[in-house]
A and B are shown apart, each in its own frame.
Chain A
């Protein structure tokens, strides 16, 4: 699938060397520790995420899997440990540097509540492009191609309140993908949907990500969701469960 890149590559703060080839570790985390006040959430997690893979992060509630996602996405800074994105130490970056990295390289998708209720579907999807300085007309045109890719092109002019939960989540996925992120971080992306609506979103999300070579890190407590990934890691009590963690990866 070829598509226009709307963000000038000069704005992308990552080494060109990082863009060569699949199969190498795109993200490496070593001995991550994070506490909320005095409550430990991550207690020394190390993992490598291969370029282009769809990684499911499973674990029971409160295991630390969402905290891990927020650290890997550069939203939280770990108390100790290292996170590398290519050659770049994310944990060493300032807040504003991490914000630039997130905007240009990462997409983030949560369970719900992400769409701006006053904006139409196409405006919602175009929003990240508009914030990046893309002009309105091309931004909306790109937004429409992404809505089409997720099978909701008939909703371009609808506001979030006028569409179903499954349709809202497809619009949210389109918005997370519109900047063509290198990595998509998704926290329980279908947690608020019934199983058929959730499946439709997951099937499209994983198909589009595989076509585009997007790396996906997907947090879920649901094994039927994890089965859409290429590989699963399991977090228990802030640590990687070594017995249940796949060592092999498909891409």
Chain B
């Protein structure tokens, strides 16, 4: 709907816009685009304004309705839930490592290996954002990913220093 706010588009243009504007995101599948458009049409947020045939298959152009504009404005005014990620796979793995091995060695080895993997990924995002030709949208997307990976890493450092305490608690 955000992409439609700039004017009417057909499905292919929406996919192209999405992939251009959010290059670090997974490219949209056509099926996903049309499924979303038909759901939004059903809910009255989007309407088909034109169907044209230019040599190929039918191309339907979609536009936002007044209800769609209201809904978009509401969504933009709201905040995203601050997701705490307390039950992340990282934490689960540390606890299971303690349960399975009975000592802190396996948990420490896992945390160390995970740190290397996280840092390797952070290097990739750092390379993306320090490329002199990088678009600002790419830089900001990389910054977002880096901040989250960094938060995981800080947690891993704390977990590393508390493995023995946690072991006592987990195995009690």
Contacts and interface: CB of A to CB of B under 8 A. Distances in A.
A interface secondary structure, majority: loop
A243 B109 contact: yes
Interface in B105-164: 108-109, 111-113, 115-116, 118-120, 122-123, 125-126, 130, 146-147, 149-150, 153-154, 157, 160-161
- Name, among B109, B115, B161, the residue most crowded by chain A CB atoms within 10 Å (CB to CB): B115
Given A226-B119, A232-B119, A241 B146 contact: no
Interface of A: 60, 203, 206-207, 222-224, 226-230, 232, 234, 236, 241-246
A227 B125 contact: yes
A60 B161 contact: yes
B116 A244 contact: yes
21 contacts: A60-B161, A206-B130, A223-B150, A223-B154, A224-B122, A224-B146, A226-B119, A227-B119, A227-B122, A227-B126, A228-B123, A232-B116, A232-B119, A236-B160, A241-B112, A243-B111, A243-B112, A243-B113, A244-B113, A244-B115, A246-B120
A108 B149 CA distance: 30
- Chain B, interface size category, equals 20 to 34
Contacts of A243: 108-109, 111-113, 115
Given A207-B130, A228-B126, A232-B119, A223 B112 contact: no
B7 to A, nearest CB: 34
A60 B113 CA distance: 17
B49 to A, nearest CB: 44
